[in-house]
Chain A
């Protein structure tokens, strides 16, 4: 229980200077009270209702959207993620269009129609899980690009084989062995290279 209660009681406190994550509800309450006493902005959880005469800075970004939870990093922002399925704010502002379903939601849910429930869902969330997980089709784009470059490489290979003539005669074994013999005679790499591997007294490679 200790871990869980530690998690659930982390609360967000907004100050003019930035964000503070208080470690307990008590702390955030006292911070709120203290800040209020000094005429500063402090909010707590879902209780950031107006009435102190101050509007938290994040209101510029989220408007009247209700802050309903911790989200993924404590910031009151919305985002759809299958890793953090419970964003910190509702997707829509509580406008007049939603007021009737919001009120109906407080009563028995069996009286809600499917349309009401869908409306409520889109009030809270932008995308459903299946929409988040829906295939984008971008694999076709990627496959096309990969095949394009593979084709280009293939054409380069065909060009080497068919368009240009055969390799020069210096590529055959006889010429290459002659070149090796010459390098040994010139003592190329006498310290730790080619010639160091050659035994000049016995006339063969060292053991």
Chain B
């Protein structure tokens, strides 16, 4: 998809989406001087960041960690941009890991928020060929590790 197409898609999503994601985010202090950044500005800033074409894997991971660190669930537009960034650095697993963090961040509202997120980013997932953790069977534990602390105690 071209940039203009992406922006148009983004605008469509912005005008269409409800409040349910925003309400789950607390209006936090961002420890910045001067004017406080609104949620919308923050979404836009993160989206712009992920849309940059010169990001490498380090940058994408830092951005994803930033998304993960906030007290809330990112906007579907931002998620979409982040998935495209994962595509540009050729890291499908990073996209899957990111989807897993989204599910984790939904907390005890996972049944309400997560299907909404998937529904909103479904076009991006299909376009890029990204499998959700559920598609890979990672919504349930697949393998088990023996706890290293339990190995040689007796």
Q: A residues bordering B, Cβ < 8 Å?
A: 1, 3-4, 7-11, 45-46, 68-70, 82, 84-86, 105-106, 108-112, 114, 117-118, 120-121, 123-131, 133-134, 136
Q: Is the CB of A131 within 8 A of B142?
A: yes
Query: With a CB–CB cut-off of 8 A, which chain B residues contact A108?
Result: 129
Q: B residues bordering A, Cβ < 8 Å?
A: 32, 45-46, 48-49, 56-59, 61-66, 68, 87, 90-94, 96-97, 100-101, 103-104, 128-131, 133, 135-145, 147
Q: Is the CB of B56 within 8 A of A86?
A: no
**A-B contacts, 19 listed (Cβ < 8 Å):** A7-B62, A7-B66, A45-B58, A46-B56, A69-B57, A69-B58, A82-B104, A84-B65, A86-B61, A109-B87, A110-B128, A110-B129, A117-B92, A121-B136, A125-B97, A128-B141, A128-B142, A130-B141, A131-B143
A-B contact count (CB 8 A): 122
B130 to chain A, nearest CB (A): 6
Q: Is the CB of A86 within 8 A of B65?
A: yes
Given contacts A1-B49, A4-B46, A8-B58, 17 further A-B contacts (CB under 8 A): A4-B63, A7-B62, A8-B62, A8-B63, A46-B56, A70-B61, A82-B104, A105-B90, A108-B129, A109-B130, A110-B128, A124-B97, A125-B93, A128-B133, A128-B138, A130-B139, A136-B147
